[in-house]
Structure formats: structure tokens, C-alpha cells
Structure 1
């Protein structure tokens, strides 16, 4: 049975990640994953939680930031991403231009983020649909 996940803040309904398999349109890539929080030290001063695409991030959201080199590969604003071992996240932020092949996972607090550290993970997302 396929379960539906719901992100009430985003209004996005997700089907479970293809019920155990990948479709022909799925892209997979190994990336470096770090973590960030909504602390003022890690965000724009005066705009805590304001993401690069204008979304207001809130504690508990399953959001990621992506390095800008991944955007042309289809990891654009509001793309659903399966992070192996962690579940489904939504792209709501983008990272500084200096980073490549990297995601930043929003976590609840600094202790959790520090415990996560830096890891290599595999991510999966649906290729963008070609417009005729």
C-alpha cells in the first residue's frame, strides 16, 4: 500500500517514494550532506529562517538546501528528494556558489546537526518533465 505524506506548511502531498523502486525518470546521485539549523549564526541576520527562494523555514520542516550546480539537474525549488536512510525532503533553499555536489539538511537543533556532521548520501529525485 502506498502511503501519502503531507507537508501542511507547503501544501504538498507526496506519495511514498515509488513503493520500493525507482521509475525511469528518477535521477540518483551521491552527494556530501551536512546539516544546518535556524540559528541566527547560520542564517541571514534579521531574517532567521528566510530561505534563498523566499520560503520561511520553520522548525520540524523536512527541507534541504542544494548546491547551485545541482539546480540545472532538476533540483529546483520545491523538488521532492528522497535522501536514502532519512526519508523525503523538499528543496527550499540554495547554498553559496562555492559549494558543489552538496546538500544541507535542515535539523531541529545544533546538537543534532553536529551529531550528523558531514556524510556522503545518495539522493533520488524525479527528472524534470520536458515541455513540448
Structure 2
């Protein structure tokens, strides 16, 4: 019962957070992905490790994730807020992963390589809000 309440509560919070306009509707999506971690270091990313593939700036302490490109079709696009199993805070999609990855997210962990290695690679559930246009007003 407690688990059901927590899931329902987070679904409501996520949907409420994604409602940018009155005519938008929110559909909560839950998927299972492989989660790894990365740092803003040149050997892990590119020659400019503080800039994401979307052009956003990375700074340690930010709650950002990179997503595999196949997840874009599921609505997990730039600036989407995401709840990751095992974390209390919401994360924002600010980066995209190399084309070779499928059904993955990469959690940004600043410059703390030890923290990223400790996280390793895990299968987790994520939840996010898919904003859908209201067909009556459009």
C-alpha cells in the first residue's frame, strides 16, 4: 500500500510539473533502462567536456542525465524531467549518448570519478512525463 501511494504521488508530481499550458495533457511513462554514470572529463566525453551534445553547460552538482537516442521516440527529449529509481531528486535530460547505445541513461556525477565508478552499471526504472497536446483545443 505504501509503495502504491509513493508511485501515485510521484506520478501526480511529475504530471503536474510538466503542465506548461492549460491545453497540455500529461501521460506518465515508466520504463526500465540500464543506468551508468559519467563525469565531465575529456577522456569520458569530448575535447570540451563541459558542453553537452545539446549545447548545455555542465557544472558539478547539477542533476543532469544523458539518454540514448532511441529513447527520444519515447518522449524522453531535451529538458525532460526524470525520476530515477534510487534517487530522491528529479534529473533533467541535458545530453545525448553515442548512437551505439540503446535503452540507456548516463547520470552526470560532476568530476567525482570514484562516485561514478561506485555507481557502476545498474538496471533501474525511470519515470517521466510525456506532454501530449489536447486534441480538442488544437
- TM-score normalised according to structure 2 size: 0.77
Aligned-partner Cα distance in 1 for 2:133–2:70: 19
- TM-score normalised according to structure 1 size: 0.80
What residue number does 1:89 align with? 91
Shift of 1:18: 8.4
Note the residue ranges of structure 1 that are not aligned, 5 or more in a row: 1-16
Higher helix share: 2
**Higher RCO, Cα 8 Å, sep 6+:** 2
Q: How many residues align?
A: 115
What residue number does 2:124 align with? 121
Aligned-partner Cα distance in 2 for 1:48–1:21: 32
What residue number does 2:20 align with? none
1:78-124 per-position Cα deviation (integer Å, ceiling 9, x unaligned): 00000011131000000011100000000131000000000011000
